């Protein structure tokens, strides 16, 4: 039996709290609604999707010594991912809280993630982590890593493909320091705008050209219900997703795309896999879809073939 490719994920795994208003938003007032809690994080969401597509995964992150840390630990174990994370007993586990209106539009978000900036760079120096990098077939990271950690990571992973997730416009700029070392980066149009200075509504070719000029060799750019852009050094194309690609769905897209690339698929075929996974993520109650073979095949059949960019 052929050995599964292995990925080391490095970055954010934290408590994701999502509040949804029952009605119209009223500023400076208590608004009725519901609050749900799950374990999320860009690299974690993407990694468990890759694992569900047949990849073996391990994860390096940091968390506090509180009750939410136990919740995170159980979620990583339940995903079948080897946990290399470090616990800081005197710290609070990172969290991300978002409030959306009844239509799903974001009202406000609060990211309590100072622990990543404080501690992740030092952890990458650990012998256990260096060993994990050396034995992995690829590395998947997100921009929750501070700049020093990103630079250290790509240095240790020299010769291996490193895939990155932009996370947010404010953090995406960190990736520019290591663009030339990345096999591929995943982002949305807002992230791409922050990286290139382009307007979020810029034409597709302009977005791709801007990212190439910035030094990125290959990337995928989502746009909600707009086309997903894919490019490498010789090709640029778009795929119109049958359903809107947002939030955790974009993480699923990244994980499934990376899994497909490590199995030897072309970028065009791999990104179709990613769009199929994103469709299933949107339909899923959790932050990562189950991805049974039958469901995945059905979803993939709905994904149109890539179209050449004009």
> What fold is seen in the domain 6-24+33-308?
3.40.1190
Q: Nearest 5°: phi and psi at 60?
A: -115, 125
Would you state the pLDDT for residue 227? 93
The DSSP call for residue 173 is G
What are the residue boundaries of the structural domains of the chain, listed by start? 6-24+33-308
Burial of 88 (0-12, 13-18, 19+ CB in 10 A): middle
Q: Is the pLDDT of residue 10 over 70?
A: yes
For residue 285, the SS3 value is coil
- Percentage of residues of the chain with pLDDT beyond 70: 96
Would you state the pLDDT for residue 135? 95
pLDDT digit string (tens) for 197-225?
A: 877 677 899 999 999 999 999 999 999 88
Rounded to whole angstroms, the Cα distance separating 78 from 169 reads 31
Q: C-alpha dihedral over 254, 258, 264, 270, to 10 degrees?
A: 0
- Percentage of residues of the chain with pLDDT beyond 90: 80
Would you state the pLDDT for residue 159? 94
User: What mean pLDDT do residues 112-141 have?
Assistant: 94
Beginning with the edge strand found earlier in the chain, give each strand of the sheet holding 307-308 in spatial order: 82-83, 56-60, 6-10, 138-142, 162-165, 184-188, 219-222, 228-231, 236-239, 307-308
Looking at mean pLDDT, say which of 2-6, 102-106, 133-137, 249-253 comes out highest.
133-137
Would you state the pLDDT for residue 285? 59
**Contact call for residues 236 and 309 (beta carbons, < 8 A):** yes
User: What mean pLDDT do residues 139-152 have?
Assistant: 96
* Contact residues for 238 (Cβ-Cβ < 8 A; gap 6+): 204, 227, 228, 229, 230, 306, 307, 309
Would you state the pLDDT for residue 265? 98
For the ranges 1-15, 70-84, 87-101, the lowest mean pLDDT is seen at: 1-15
Angle between helices 247-262 and 267-283 (to 10 degrees): 140
Q: How far is CA 68 from CA 76, 95, 270, 288, in A?
A: 13, 9, 35, 19
pLDDT digit string (tens) for 265-291?
A: 999 999 999 999 999 988 875 656 777
For the ranges 15-19, 100-104, 214-218, the lowest mean pLDDT is seen at: 100-104
For the ranges 103-112, 168-177, 226-235, 243-252, the lowest mean pLDDT is seen at: 243-252
Record the pTM: 0.93
Q: What is the mean pLDDT of the chain?
A: 92
pLDDT digit string (tens) for 50-76?
A: 999 999 999 999 999 999 999 999 999
pLDDT digit string (tens) for 18-51?
A: 899 998 899 999 999 999 999 999 999 999 999 9
H/E element, 237: strand 236-239
CB-facing half-sphere around the CA of 136: CA atoms within 13 A: 28
User: What mean pLDDT do residues 92-105 have?
Assistant: 88
For the ranges 10-14, 84-88, 197-201, 295-299, the lowest mean pLDDT is seen at: 197-201
């Amino acid at each position: 039996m052929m050995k599964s490719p292995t990925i080391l994920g490095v970055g954010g795994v934290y408590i994701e709290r999502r509040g949804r208003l029952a009605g119209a938003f009223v500023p400076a007032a208590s608004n009725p609604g519901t609050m749900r809690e799950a374990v999320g994080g860009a690299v974690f969401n993407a990694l468990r999707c890759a694992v569900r597509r047949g990849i073996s995964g391990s994860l390096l992150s940091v968390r506090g010594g509180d009750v939410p840390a136990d919740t995170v630990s159980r979620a990583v174990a339940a995903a079948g991912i080897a946990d290399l994370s470090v616990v800081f007993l005197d710290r609070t586990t990172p969290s991300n809280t978002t409030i959306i209106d009844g239509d799903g539009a974001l009202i406000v978000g609060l990211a309590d993630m100072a622990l990543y900036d404080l501690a992740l760079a030092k952890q990458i120096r650990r012998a256990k982590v260096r060993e994990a990098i050396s034995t992995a077939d690829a590395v998947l990271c997100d921009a929750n890593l501070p700049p020093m950690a990103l630079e250290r990571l790509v240095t240790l992973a020299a010769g291996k493909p490193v895939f990155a997730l932009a996370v947010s416009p404010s953090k995406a700029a960190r990736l520019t320091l290591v663009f030339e070392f990345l096999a591929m980066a995943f982002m949305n149009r807002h992230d791409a705008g922050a990286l290139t200075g382009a307007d979020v509504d810029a034409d597709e070719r302009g977005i791709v050209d801007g990212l190439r000029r910035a030094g990125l060799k290959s990337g995928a750019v989502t746009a909600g219900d707009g086309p997903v852009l894919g490019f490498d050094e010789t090709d640029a194309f778009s795929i119109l997703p049958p359903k809107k690609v947002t939030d955790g769905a974009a993480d699923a897209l990244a994980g499934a795309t990376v899994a497909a690339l490590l199995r030897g698929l072309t970028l065009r075929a791999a990104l179709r896999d990613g769009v199929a996974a994103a469709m299933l993520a949107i339909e899923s109650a959790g932050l990562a879809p189950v991805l049974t073979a039958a469901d995945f095949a059905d979803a993939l059949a709905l994904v149109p073939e890539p179209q050449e960019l004009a």
